[in-house]
Amino acid sequence: MKKVVSIVLALALLLAAMSFALAEELPTITIMFHGSNVTDDTAVLEAVNAYIADKVGAKLEVVWGTWGDFDDKATNALLSGDTGIDMVFTCSWSADEYNTYAKNGYFVKLDDLIAEYGADLVAAIPESLMQAATIEGAEGMGIYAVNGFKDTATQNTWDVNVTLLNELGYTLDDFKAMSFYDFGELFQKAKALKGDSFYPFLVEPMVLERMVTGSIIVAGDSGSTNLLSLYLNQDDVSAEGPEGNVILNKFATDEYRKFVDKMHEYYEAGYVDPSLAVAETSNDTRTNTQKTGEYLIGTQSYAFGYEYSADVLDRGIEVAFVPCTDPYVDTTASQGAMVAISTASEHPVESFKFLALLNSDPTLMTMLNYGLEGIHYNLNADGLVEFTDERANYSPWTNGMGNVTILPDTAAEGAGFRESFKAYYAGAKAIPALGYVFDNAEVANEMAALGTVAAQYALALDAGALDPETTLPDFLAALDAAGMQTYLDAANAQLAAYLG
Amino acid sequence: MKVRPMRRWSWKDFWLLTMVLPGAIWLLLIRYLPMLGVVIAFKDYKAQKPNTFWNNLMKSKWVGLKNFAFLKSPATVTMIRNTLLYNGVWIVLVLVLAVTLAVMMSELKNRFAAKAYQTMMFFPYFLSWVVASYFVLAFLDPTSGMIPSIQKSLGLKPTQFYMTTTWWPLILTISNLWKNVGYSSVLYLAAITGIDTTLYEAAAVDGATKWQQVWHVTLPGIRPMIVILLIMSVGKIFNADFGLFYNVPQNSGPLYPVTQVIDTYVYNTYANTHNLGMSAAAGLLQSVVGCICIVITNGVVRKIDAESSLF
Amino acid sequence: MNKPQRQQVVLNSFGPGAQALFHTVLGLFALACIVPFLFVIIISFTSEDSIRQIGYSFMPLSWSTQAYRYVFQLGDALWRSYFNSFLITAVGTVLSVAICILYSYPLYRKDFRYRGFFNFLSFFTMIFGGGLVPTFVVCKTLLGLSDNYAALIVPLLFSPFNVIVMRTFFQTTVPRELIEASTIDGAGEYRTLLQIVLPVVKPGIATIALLNALAFWNEWFLSLLYITKNMDVIPLQYLLMRMQRNADFLAKNSAMLGADAAQAARNLPSQSLKMALVVFIVVPIACAYPFFQRYVVAGLTVGSVKG
């Protein structure tokens, strides 16, 4: 009898020890974010882990991808089936491109998990974003990533130096009445006033091209230089464009010719900084000049509230963003920032629970995104967030994390900002081809060849540095030789099938 | 690989074997094991169930030579031409210049100056192409570079260096020579100082002028060195120095006709498509061609001068 | 090992005209070789205003130590990575030199039974490789090279090129009779190597030590591959490359990222800061180089010539 008791006792002890060990040893889940600037996350992760232990049943680790390294790190982790990465940022423009990687089996299909654990998530994220994430993946039609709720519509704007505009004797309303083709007189006067080394037209050449010709990025097109385009109906973005729902070779249109002719004229007149036409110096030049306010008109791909960011406030000039069109929801914008679960993950359930919580729970999102109250930020008298100097050591990329609409308002943005933000994007209309993604697998070789050709000409032409008279015909001939028609036909056949 | 027994096995072999062991283990693990991955070049690599690398590797579909189809692009001719032409010309130029400078240095009477020159010439070897590209940019930048600024102050139209192909073969050549000639000439100089001095004395006794001594004693004396470096560079004739062709021209599109080489093409293509199979195929191709080049060069060298050949 | 001093035995030399020409040519070329570095130093001390107004120039409008102040603000991260660079270089160089000597010495021994096999084993990897992703998988999952110093050292420990250099070194500088004499004395293989052979090949060791030290010092790609969470182990070179890559990425993707890219670009270092970091990277190796140089020149000659 004694023996039995002791065995039972021993067993009980063992069981207790085991369950204790189980309770202690929460599984670790790791998430890889894009574009952050984080040097010290210990305090934040400690708080986050204390908070999620019961709710998620796991311990979180974070890999803070920087802008430059994320693509390599994420693709290496996914391609090598790394079990150490459970969740990874993905979207329509990163190297681990959402549609391709979902189709090739790297992302877990989430539909069942959403049905079981995702009630809060579904409530927190607009239906349209769930729609945008629903694609044909390795496991059939479904959702393969949690779509972040951020600026979900595209809107390109003129970035106007109002201070200088007024000095030249124009008002903002005068400017709004002008089009790209009328800017010449403004530039001429600015140049006369500010001297020869002043370049009034500070553009992102590729964005400018979209603004002037009304072209829309086709998701799944060649990455660094787009070749394909749908066209926007500039008066009503939800209506069919002037060409109908057809994808065109964007460089072969009359509109494009007209645009590059004018741009070349501006360039030759010295209105455009020549550095903007060179791939590696273009962006550096633009951001550096923008900082100093030494321009008259720029281009800016806009997000609601950008005018309140330090980036704009520090320029020392009055800036106005004049939109070209209403914001429009296209595939690229609606798949702009997502987080997927890797099929190599050993803890997909815990990972999903975490993502669901992150996107629906303001406490967790605030902790992980803004840091800790009293360390990284303080709340001012109005209850608004004011960042401290510590924030410099902990600045994740806000929009890359998920649902930013549940974050508290910051003092710079002002009270009620998130509400206006949500309202602004809730009002955005979708383009007719929303959700269409070009599957380029069959024409991958053509795309590679075309990408090289486009990289040779497009940026320099868009910036006005090349004479379209001589180079555009060469460009178009080179595109044809590289298989443009095959590429275009494949895209259009798929689009027709998609639209039904 | 079986080695046929030649001598009786001895403890000596055992001890020598323990010496190569660390290196051999390293090679097997870090170089040979991953070589299984070359099959990616012939597969449509995708995640399988379960998603582990080796499983993906085994179960992905074979696609034959489909990943090599990128070679059908019209850019192929340009990039292969550029790679071969630049490398070919540079092999010769670096050789001639480095040997000339080395001979000059060896003939300097002022030893301190020779040492100083030598130290300085080795220096570019320490700087990466990213850094070197800033230097080129400082001269050529269309907005604030030194040359366009001077042109502007003289009332001339500034040259659009990053838009016109004309100057780039020259600029790339100068950049490459700047970086590599010093390093090579230090190697050749070292070889020259190793030449048996009695040879010079004998030549002088025979009444040879200094020029004749250089021609008949110095150059033959450094031939083995020339040959080794030559074989090495010919083996890499299909591999371009990526940083030189990517960073120095600032990846400027209009310059592609003269700056696009195999390595930058593969890089740009990968950045566009993220196709693992395609880049594996390109890497395999470069390896195979490099292999063939080395074997051929080595064979030619062995025909002419068996002593100098690499293997 | 002392070579006869050549200038003592040269019977005739080029005349003063030729000497002057040589000095001019060599002097100009040597100057061209270090001017870029001086230029980098000047840029690192140039004020941002000056860069904005007249671009890079040998004679900036105004000077500034702001870049260096910013570099020092990196504080712990900077010193930590500086320390790591030294640590990785030191440990890596010692280990790789040891492995290289141990591997190449038997290849020099004609009486080593498996000489041909191991020669081929090493040489083949110079021209053939498995590619990035398979190597990554082996290193990370099989060998656990992840987030530790080992990950920044092990993948670079062996270089077939250095083995060829070292092997030919043995062939040209170590007479085979030396080995035979030693074995007859009954010395073990390791004792022969350590006590008899190594003292003779010191210049060769210095040469491969320099080549290895340069490789470790300049390495940044391994950090990109294998360091994901533990940023305490990254070297200085990676700190610089990461900034460079951030700038490149934002340049390529600014159109997609829109306002986010503009905001992120604000955090990027200025050109002068990057130049300051370059100065930090180049100075130690430039200071170490003259110490190596004495041996290296002698070393490379012998090592590169097949015996």
pLDDT band at A468, cuts 50/70/90?
very high
Peptide bond before residue A200 is cis, with ω within 30 degrees of 0: no
For chain B, say whether A486 makes contact (Cβ under 8 Å).
no
A6-147+338-401 folds as: D-Maltodextrin-Binding Protein; domain 2 (3.40.190)
CB contact under 8 A, B73 and A452: yes
The answer to whether C180 faces chain A, any CB pair under 8 Å, is no
Long-range contacts, A269-272 (Cβ 8 Å, 24+): A269/A184, A269/A187, A269/A188, A269/A191, A270/A191, A270/A196, A270/A199, A271/A184, A271/A187, A271/A191, A271/A199, A271/A200, A271/A201, A272/A199, A272/A201, A272/A203, A272/A463, A272/A464, A272/A465
Contact criterion met (CB < 8 Å) for B250 and A279:
yes
Collect all residues of chain C within an 8 Å Cβ-Cβ radius of residue A286.
254
Query: CA of B235: how far to CAs of B35, B222, B283, C127, in Å?
Result: 20, 20, 14, 8
Numbered ranges of CATH 3.40.190.10 in chain A = 6-147+338-401, 150-330+428-500
- Report yes or no: A202 at the B interface, CB cutoff 8 Å: no
Residues of B in Cβ contact (< 8 Å) with A342: 51
List chain B domain ranges: 69-124+174-308
Mapping DSSP to helix (H, G, I), strand (E, B) and coil, where does residue C118 land? helix
State mean pLDDT over C6-35: 79
Tell which residue, C243, C246, C230, has the closest CA to residue C277. Answer: C243
Residue type, C155: P
Question: Taking a contact as any Cβ pair under 8 Å apart, which residues of chain C between 136 and 195 contact chain B?
Answer: 137-139, 141-143, 154-155, 157-158, 163-164, 183, 188-190, 193
Q: Which of B121, B225, B271 sits opposite C305 (nearest CB)?
A: B225
Task: Please name the member of C77, C250, C255 whose beta carbon is closest to the beta carbon of A206.
Answer: C255
Report whether pLDDT(C10) > 50: no
Model pLDDT, residue C84: 94
Most trustworthy range by pLDDT among A175-184, A330-339, B187-196, C47-56? A175-184
Nearest chain A Cα distance for residue C265, angstroms: 7
Q: In the prediction, which pLDDT does C1 show?
A: 37
Interface contacts B/C by beta carbons within 8 Å:
281
Long-range contacts of B158-162 (CB under 8 A, 24+ apart): B160/A274, B160/A465, B162/A274, B162/A277, B162/A278, B162/A281, B162/B249, B162/B250, B162/B252, B162/B254, B162/B255
Flag if A82 and C52 touch (Cβ within 8 Å). Answer: no
Of B141, B163, B257, Cβ closest to residue A466: B163
User: Tokens standing for A431?
Assistant: 């383009």
Q: Which two tokens stand for residue B13?
A: 């072999």
Whether residue A303 and residue C258 make contact (CB cut-off 8 A), yes or no, is: yes
- Chain A, 460 to 489: residues with Cβ < 8 Å from chain C are none
The pLDDT assigned to A22 comes to: 52
Residue A261 pLDDT greater than 70, yes or no: yes
Is the pLDDT at C86 greater than 70? The verdict is yes
Residue that has been written with the tokens 């990533």 in this structure: A145
Helix (H) or strand (E) holding A61: strand A59-64
Query: What's residue B1's pLDDT?
Result: 43
Q: Which residue of B has its CA nearest to C294?
A: B115
What pLDDT is attached to residue C275?
A: 77
pLDDT for residue A500: 82
Residue A366 has pLDDT above 70, yes or no: yes
Among the partner-chain residues A80, A273, A278, the one whose CB lies closest to the CB of B250 is: A278
Interface check B56 vs A, CB under 8 A: yes
C38 touches chain B (CB under 8 A): no
A69/C contact by beta carbon, under 8 A = yes
Q: Select from 1.20.1740.10, 3.40.190.10, 3.20.20.100, 3.50.50.60 the CATH code of A150-330+428-500.
A: 3.40.190.10
Instruction: Indicate if the pLDDT at residue A16 is higher than 60.
Output: no
DSSP state of A150: S
pTM (predicted TM-score)? 0.85
What are the percentages of helix, strand and coil residues in chain B, rounded to 5? 75, 0, 25
Q: How many CB pairs under 8 A join A and C?
A: 113
A471, two tokens: 């180079």
Interface subset of A 102-161, CB within 8 angstroms of B: 104-106, 138
Provide the angle, in degrees to the nearest 10, between the axes of the packed helices B11-26 and C115-127.
10
C-beta separation of B102 from B193 below 8 A: no
Determine the pLDDT at residue A6: 62
Pick the CATH number of B69-124+174-308 from 1.10.150.120, 3.40.50.2020, 1.10.3720.10, 3.30.1490.20: 1.10.3720.10
* Distance of residue C70 Cα from the nearest chain A Cα, in angstroms: 14
Restricting to A residues 416-445, those with a Cβ less than 8 Å away from any Cβ of C are none
Average pLDDT over residues B89-106: 93
Sign of the torsion formed by the C-alpha atoms of A185, A190, A195 and A196: negative
**With pLDDT > 90 as the criterion, what percentage of chain A qualifies?**
62
pLDDT digits (tens, 9 = 90+) for A159-194: 999 999 999 999 999 999 999 999 999 999 999 999
Q: Residue B7: what pLDDT?
A: 62
B chain contacts of residue A448, beta-carbon cutoff 8 Å: 70, 73, 269, 272-273, 275, 278
A19-54 residue pLDDT tens = 555 556 899 999 999 988 888 899 999 999 999 999
pLDDT per residue as tens digits for the range B134-193 = 778 878 888 777 888 888 888 888 888 999 999 999 999 999 999 999 888 877 887 787
Using CB atoms, pick whichever of C132, C249, C262 lies closest to residue A311.
C262
Q: Tens digit of pLDDT for each residue in C108-159?
A: 888 888 888 998 899 888 878 887 888 888 898 889 898 999 999 999 999 9
User: Does C202 have pLDDT greater than 50?
Assistant: yes
Domains observed in chain C? 17-64 (no CATH), 76-304 (1.10.3720.10)
Is B269 within 8 Å of chain A by CB?
yes
**For a pLDDT cut of 90, what percent of chain C falls above it?**
21
**A81, A283, A302 member nearest C259 (Cβ):** A302
Beta strands in A171-211 (DSSP E): 201-202
Query: Which residues numbered 256-295 in B keep a CB inside 8 Å of some CB on C?
Result: 271, 276, 279-280, 283, 287, 290-291, 294
Instruction: Say which amino acid occupies B108.
Output: L
* Residue B247 reports pLDDT greater than 60: yes
Element (H, E) at A451: helix A444-462
Stretch among C33-47, C190-204, C274-288 having the lowest mean pLDDT: C274-288
Tell me if B138 and C99 make a contact (CB, 8 A cut-off): no
